[in-house]
Amino acid sequence: MLDPLSPFRLDGKIAVVTGASSGLGVRFAKVLHAVGAQVVIAARRADRLNELAAELPGCLAVPTDVAVAADRENLIARAEEHFGRIDILVNNAGISRTGGIEVETLETFEDVQQVNTIAVWHLTKLAGVGMVQRGSGVVVNIASMLGLVGATPIKQANYSASKGAVINMTREIALQWARKGVRVNALCPGWFESEMTSGMESDEGSQRYINLNSPMPRMGYAHELDGALLFLASDASSFVTGQALVVDGGWTAR
């Protein structure tokens, strides 16, 4: 009898996850490992990476600041040297800065683009060389629903711009690689508990704002991204590329 879960299995696949020292990145690494992938985890905080690696047998931890080009190059080189290839790249690392544009600095805007957009482009390019050569591979870019709609009253032009860029960059690279066996998609979460949204889950004003404006009046739970991640990372989505899969409780459907 056909196993209905078999398309979601990643046995023997090599997956790289950035931003894997906290929040959703930790969850993504654990989920991929749970379905059989060997995982390379990357983030700046080596102590947290090592703690996570101890929980995931066969995992490779590579301390990485994705804002630094040399670190990005080292991450991909280490992963390929250790495992021989990269099958799945999850570009999860991201930052945000709040404040109206009249007080936002050029340096702040550039810093956010470096992590959220340029690093995604560069890591995809680096990992994609081997993927294209082998004729197979998957890239999952963690964007945001705020790449599709404005964020105000939480003012963060830097973040919205970066995630909008990631969504359209995903489409373009997907088109370039569609005939080369490499799929590229974006996962766009809504309001989820993470290091970036720390405090919102207990702040009365934040919760009132979310409850009043979200068709499903609450923040998402981390496990509610598991299915979307596995769908995009696995053969379950073998005919899907260039898409932005939104998991936001209906926020962008308003």
DSSP state of 220: B
Distance CA 200, CA 210 (A): 9
Query: Taking the C-alpha atoms of 97, 101, 107 and 111 in order, what is their torsion angle to the nearest 10 degrees?
Result: 40
Distances 17 to 21, 47, 158 between C-alpha atoms, Å: 10, 16, 23
Give me the helix-helix angle, 226-233 and 23-34, nearest 10°: 60
Catalytic residue among 28, 159, 191, 231: 159
**Nearest partner of 67 among 116, 3, 2, 138, judged by Cα:** 116
Query: Could you tell me if 95 and 23 are in contact, meaning their C-beta atoms sit under 8 angstroms apart?
Result: no
DSSP state of 7: G
**91 bridge partner residues:** 141
Mapping DSSP onto H, E and C, the string for 81-146 reads HHHCCCCEEEECCCCCCCCCCCCCCHHHHHHHHHHHHHHHHHHHHHHHHHHHHHCCEEEEEECCHH
Q: Is 221 a catalytic residue?
A: no
Q: Tell me the Ramachandran region of residue 63: left when phi exceeds 0, alpha when psi lies from -120 to 50, beta otherwise.
A: beta
Q: Is 144 exposed, middle or buried (0-12, 13-18, 19+ CB in 10 A)?
A: buried
| Catalytic positions, written as ranges | 159
